[in-house]
Structure 1
Amino acid sequence: MTDLTDMRINLPEVLAAVTAEFDRYEKALVTNDVDTLDDFFWHSEHALRYGVGENLYGFDAIAAFRAGRPANNLARERFNTVITTFGENMAVANTEFRREGTTKTGRQSQTWCRFADGWHIVSAHVSLLSS
C-alpha cells in the first residue's frame, strides 16, 4: 500500500495550472464551446459524467450529450469553489452555482488528472439541490 503521508497538497504551480484549466472550462461551458468542452474530458471509455438528468459513461457519450445540449440559459454565478491538488498529477474541483433567473443551487465536482497531453477531467458530477 502506498503511504500518502508524503503527498504534497496544493503545490502552488499545480494549483495554479488546475485553476486556470477550471476557469477555461467554465468559459467554454457558458459560451457552449463544444469542441473545447470535449477537449477537457479524457478521451476514454472510462471517463464519466453524471448530470442532472443523465448518466454518461465514456467519452463518446459525453461528447454526444454536449453536441445535442441546448445552448440557452447557460450563464451562471459560481461560488464556494474549492480546488485541491494531490501531488503533481491529480486534482479535484468543486463549486456551487446558480443560473441566472433562478434561485436553485447547483453543485459541480470534477476529478482532474494530468496526462502527457495536459490536464483532463476523468470524472464529473453535476446536481441540483432540491430546495
Structure 2
Amino acid sequence: MKDFEPNIPEVVAEVREKFESYETALAEKDVDVLDNTFWNSPFTVRLAMSEHGYGFDAIHAHRVARPPGPSIKEKRIRLEILTIGHTVATVNLEFKVLGQDLIGRQSQSWVKFPDLGWKVISAHVSTTDGTKLW
C-alpha cells in the first residue's frame, strides 16, 4: 500500500511549491504560469464566482479576459495539503476576502503526470458568510 501513503514530506513540498507559484501568478495575472499549472485537457474544470470553466480552453479564455487587479485574498486562515502516494494531491485553502465579511474557499485536485509533472485537474473557488448550516 506504499502507493497510497499519505503526506510523504517531499511530495507535500513539491505540491506546496506548485501551489505557491500558482498563488503568486494569480496575484500578478501571469497567464503563462496559470495556464502551465492546469492540465491542458477538455476534461479540466475550474469553477469560480464568475467562471464556469469546463475544459482548458474555457479556463484560459477567462484568464485572458480577467482584468488585472488586487487579489481577493486578505489573509490565509487555513491551508491543507493532502498527498496520496507520489501522484495525487488535494489543496484546500480558507481565506478572508479582502474588504468583505466573507470567507473564501479554494480547492484543487492535482495529479502528477509522468510527462508533464504536477497539474491541477479540477478547481473550485467560492465564498461564504461563515454561517454554519448544521
Normalised to the residue count of structure 1, the TM-score between the two structures is 0.90
Which letter does structure 2 place at the counterpart of 1:104? Answer: L
CA contact 1:73–1:99 (8 Å) conserved in 2: no
CA RMSD of aligned residues (A): 1.6
Aligned residues: 128
How many Å separate the matches in 1 of 2:3 and 2:117?
A: 24
Q: How does 1:1-131 map to 2 (within 5 A)?
A: 7-74=4-71, 76=73, 77-115=75-113, 116-130=115-129
Residue 6 of structure 1: how far off its partner (Å): 6.5
How many Å separate the matches in 1 of 2:94 and 2:121?
A: 19
Over the matched positions of the two proteins, sequence identity in percent amounts to: 43
* Secondary structure in structure 2 of the residue aligned to 1:29: helix
How many Å separate the matches in 2 of 1:72 and 1:5?
A: 44
Taking a change above 3 Å as real, the CA distance of residues 112 and 6 of structure 1, as seen in their structure-2 partners, is closer
How many Å separate the matches in 2 of 1:75 and 1:48?
A: 21
Runs of 5+ unmatched residues, structure 2 = none
Runs of 5+ unmatched residues, structure 1 = none
**Deviating runs (4+, > 4 A) in structure 1?**
none
> For 1:75-105, what per-residue CA distance to the aligned partner results, in whole angstroms no more than 9, with x for missing partners?
5222210000011001000001223322311
